[in-house]
């Protein structure tokens, strides 16, 4: 899904594309570009009946993980994050071993913690360069990059009657993905010994943006969610892209001879416009298939859930119980609901025309700067309120 939005014009009929280009677009609403200041105007989480979070999984899952890691190319995660964590969760129906990358904030009470969720078909390494850029610009900040089920190294299996793992669980509904994200956040807090989540910004790219809007609209993270940001996805363009999803998936290579070939394809096709980012994130997308490398995530298996991912997203975004930021590579597909909401000042819109669909990978430094400024503008702990009149009178001061 993540690659499709920018590839969409190439998939459409060339005549239709030329005609669409020649049409006069409506004037854009007031907005900021990436080099301008941006401004904007809740307790964890879903619990499981028997959840345990550890740095190392149980013995059964360990063998599965070793088999999986032997089939995947090495990940350069240690260049961008302080640690990788395995968070184990068990319910009556599922056994999950979630995988996240983490650099904790220097002060959990002050934050910020940028919680990142990748798009469909991507992985937690999609935010690798962003994480490094955040730490350079704000050394005390933390970054947590979540990995969805069947993406990266996260493994979710159906639980057998005796509690053992059976076949791989195939449930990619938005409700399940949101529950997974909240579970990872809760288990992360337990692992780190945080009494509560640090002041956070939830940053979601593409499908991850849909997860972020659900979390914000549901108020599951309470006042600790300072704001949420959606990267290059809106309901209208997503629904349009779904019509061409199968065509796009059929048009990309099904496998590669080497990892280097996969990296080269991503940069040559302009799926990723930053070669450094491609080298960081692409290996985590691949799995050994005989003597070749194929895609780890089979997006066709998720087809029945595509529409549900984005249905109602615009309204949910506007209802989100935190400051809102929308980063786009272009404004041509903003739907009516968001256009009206932006003109009413309900959220901040920033356009980064030099980036492709993977904004956080193409321009990580700029994205990091924007997210840091977004947090600073909306951090409630930094607000200095005027003294109460009663306090001034008690101090004998005139009012």
158 burial via Cβ count (<10 Å: 0-12, 13-18, 19+): middle
Q: Which of 232, 281, 314, 362 is catalytic?
A: 232
- pLDDT of 188 > 90? The answer is yes
Spatial CA neighbour of 172 closest among 304, 318, 346: 304
* pTM of the shown model: 0.80
Confidence bin at 332 (pLDDT 50/70/90): low
Average pLDDT, the chain: 82
The three state secondary structure string of 18-55 is HHHHHCCCCCCCCCEECCCCCCCCCCCCCCCCEEEECC
Active-site pick, 151, 214, 357, 362: 357
Contact 342, 349 (CB under 8 A): yes
Which of 206, 220, 237, 314 is an active site residue? Answer: 206
| Mean pLDDT, residues 257-279 | 96
Alpha-helical regions (H) of the chain: 4-11, 14-22, 59-71, 128-137, 174-192, 207-218, 235-242, 245-251, 259-268, 275-281, 306-310, 313-319, 336-343, 359-362, 364-378, 389-394
pLDDT digits (tens, 9 = 90+) for 8-66: 444 444 444 444 433 333 333 334 455 444 333 333 333 333 333 323 333 344 455 44
Q: Is 232 a catalytic residue?
A: yes
User: Which distant-in-sequence residues (6+ apart) come within 8 Å of 11 by Cβ?
Assistant: 244, 247, 248, 251
Query: Is 171 annotated in the active site?
Result: no
Q: How many percent of the chain have pLDDT more than 70?
A: 76
User: Does 206 participate in catalysis according to the annotation?
Assistant: yes
**Three-class DSSP category at 230:** strand
Alpha carbon distance 206, 204 (integer Å): 7
Least confident of 45-54, 267-276, 349-358, 385-394: 45-54
The residue to which tokens 């409506």 are assigned: 26
Does the pLDDT at position 209 exceed 50?
yes
pLDDT computed for residue 272 by the predictor: 96
Residue 89 in this model has a pLDDT that exceeds 60: yes
User: Using alpha carbons only, how large is the chain's radius of gyration in Å?
Assistant: 21
The phi and psi torsions of 199 (rounded to 5 degrees) equal: -50, 125
**396 in the Ramachandran plot: left (φ > 0), alpha (ψ -120 to 50) or beta?**
left
């Amino acid at each position: 899904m993540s690659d499709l939005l920018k590839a969409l014009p190439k998939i459409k009929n060339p005549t239709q594309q030329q005609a669409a280009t020649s049409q006069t677009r409506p004037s854009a609403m007031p907005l900021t570009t990436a080099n301008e200041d941006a401004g904007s105007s809740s307790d964890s989480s879903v619990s499981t009946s028997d959840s345990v979070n550890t740095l190392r999984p149980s013995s059964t899952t360990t063998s599965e993980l070793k088999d999986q890691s032997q089939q995947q190319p090495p990940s350069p995660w240690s260049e961008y994050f302080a640690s990788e964590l395995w968070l184990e969760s068990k319910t009556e129906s599922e056994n999950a071993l979630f995988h996240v990358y983490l650099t904790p904030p220097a002060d959990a009470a002050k934050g910020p913690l940028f919680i990142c969720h990748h798009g469909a078909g991507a992985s937690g390494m999609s935010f690798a360069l962003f994480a490094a850029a955040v730490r350079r610009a704000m050394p005390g900040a933390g970054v947590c990059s979540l990995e969805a089920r069947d993406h990266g190294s996260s493994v979710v299996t159906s639980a057998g009657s005796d509690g053992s793992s059976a076949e791989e669980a195939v449930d990619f509904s938005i409700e399940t993905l949101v529950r997974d994200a909240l579970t990872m956040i809760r288990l992360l807090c337990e692992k780190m010994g945080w009494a509560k989540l640090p002041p956070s910004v939830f940053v979601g790219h593409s499908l991850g943006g849909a997860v972020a809007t659900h979390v914000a609209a549901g108020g599951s993270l309470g006042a600790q969610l300072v704001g949420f940001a959606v990267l290059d996805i809106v309901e209208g363009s997503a629904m349009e892209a779904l019509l061409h999803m199968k065509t796009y998936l059929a048009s990309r290579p099904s496998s590669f001879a080497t990892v280097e070939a996969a990296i080269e394809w991503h940069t040559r096709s302009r799926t990723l416009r930053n070669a450094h980012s491609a080298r960081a994130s692409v290996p985590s997308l691949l799995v050994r298939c005989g003597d070749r490398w194929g895609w780890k995530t089979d997006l066709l298996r998720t087809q029945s859930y595509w529409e549900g991912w984005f249905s109602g997203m615009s309204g949910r975004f506007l209802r989100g119980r935190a400051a809102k930021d929308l980063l786009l590579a272009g404004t041509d597909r903003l739907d009516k609901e968001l256009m009206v909401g932006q003109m009413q000042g309900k959220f901040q819109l920033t356009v980064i025309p030099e980036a492709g669909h993977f904004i956080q990978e193409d321009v990580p430094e700029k994205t990091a700067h924007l997210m840091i400024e977004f947090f600073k503008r909306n951090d409630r702990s930094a607000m200095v309120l005027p003294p109460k009149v009663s306090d001034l009178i008690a101090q004998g001061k005139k009012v």
